[in-house]
Amino acid sequence: MPGRHYSKFIPPSLEMSELVCQKLDNDATDMLIDKWLERPHRPDSYYDWFQRVRERKHAANANARREQILLWNKGVFVPENIFTRTVDTGRLIPLDRTWVTHVYHHRSMKRLTMMPVIFSMLPELMLLRGMHDRGCDEIYVIVTDLKRHEMDQVTEYFQYVCRHTSAGSCKPSVERKINHDYIQLNNTLDRNRRTPCFPQIDLTLRAILHEKRPPFIVLFSHQTMSYSQILFAHPHFVPSKNVYHDFPSGCPNPGCTDNCCELIRFPKYGPEVAAVLCTKKKVRYRYGRRVRPKEMCNWIDCDVCFSEEASTSGSAVGEGGSEGSSEGSEASVDEHPVTRTSTSFAGLVCSRCKLVKYCSAEHQRMDWDEHRRVCVKPASD
């Protein structure tokens, strides 16, 4: 049975892991975000990047505007004013939504707090959290002391294992290669006295992927000359290169000119260069929850999905105003009654920004307190 014994080809149980798990709750994440905003060296490279994204002109086409991934249209530089388009529901949600972090580390670090670990890659985690409406409430991190070339080797190993064993079986030649690479990595890291040892890294990572099924998992390295790796369960979870191609590397040295110097390897150029564990489309992969992109009402507590076959134009919901509604929005709702079983309802588009859709004027009013922070009329209109 899976999980009863350790095997390189059978998903292990997380209970078998000897690593210590430290849990950072939502309040701890809030505190880290506040400290990040209060850091003394603002503005910095991250602020400059968000500013460049803000200054990029919106596309004139309304459908293209609704596909915008990252928006900062109003207000000061705080997470609640920066919105991301989710890959699973198509909603625009602010970056101020927190998460719970599970940090797995060696028992020798038991007395140390893991908050500096999360703080060092907070901007990247905020953006990755913002990409998903569901499934990113918990983020998993494994702390290691791998050097750069060792991190490269470990990443290649996990990519190979996950891609060739995701269907449940593998060829004898593949099995021999996995055994050979496993022994080689184990001997190398053991000789260099790395903690945790490679069997524990392998066991914990594959157990998390199988039992928790997160969109991604972070292999963190506290080595000065190394980097931290983000392992994505599937290409659907990787950010778009159209937005993040010039994202900062995170290097703390302002005079550094090395393009390879980075604290965390954020996938700037899409799935082609990201560390993706499973790329096969026709297999029933067990790592990560399958993303089924759909368009939903922007009100967070609504589960109405809009039909892809329906007309993309829809009727416009009126601008929010002080009450979050207008007379025009009520007329639109009367023309298109909303039911959960409707197969032809295309949704009501916000008439001001044309960025989001609602199932009714009531939900548009309920969402206005949040949506007003990003809702602006495009300059092209």
Give 190-222 pLDDT, tens digit per residue: 999 999 999 999 999 999 998 998 999 999 998
3-class secondary-structure state, position 79 = helix
Report the b/e string of 229-248 with b at 16+ CB within 10 A: bbbbbbbbbbbbbebbeebb
Kindly state whether residue 282 falls inside one of the protein's structural domains: no
Q: Are residues 97 and 189 in the same domain?
A: yes
pTM for the full predicted model: 0.84
Residue 335: which domain range?
296-381
**Count of domains in the chain?**
2
Task: Measure the CA–CA gap between 4 and 356, rounded to whole angstroms.
Answer: 48
Q: Are residues 226 and 316 in the same domain?
A: no
Q: Which two tokens stand for residue 105?
A: 């580390």
Q: Are residues 116 and 164 in the same domain?
A: yes
Q: Are residues 264 and 381 in the same domain?
A: no
In whole angstroms, how far apart are CA 25 and each of 2, 103, 121, 122, 303?
30, 11, 16, 14, 27
The per-residue pLDDT of the chain, averaged, comes to 80
Last residue of a domain, one of 276, 309, 337: 276
Angle (CA) 3 216 189, round 5°: 65
Q: What is the pLDDT of residues 295-350, one digit of tens each?
A: 889 998 998 888 654 444 444 556 554 334 333 333 333 333 333 434 456 788 89
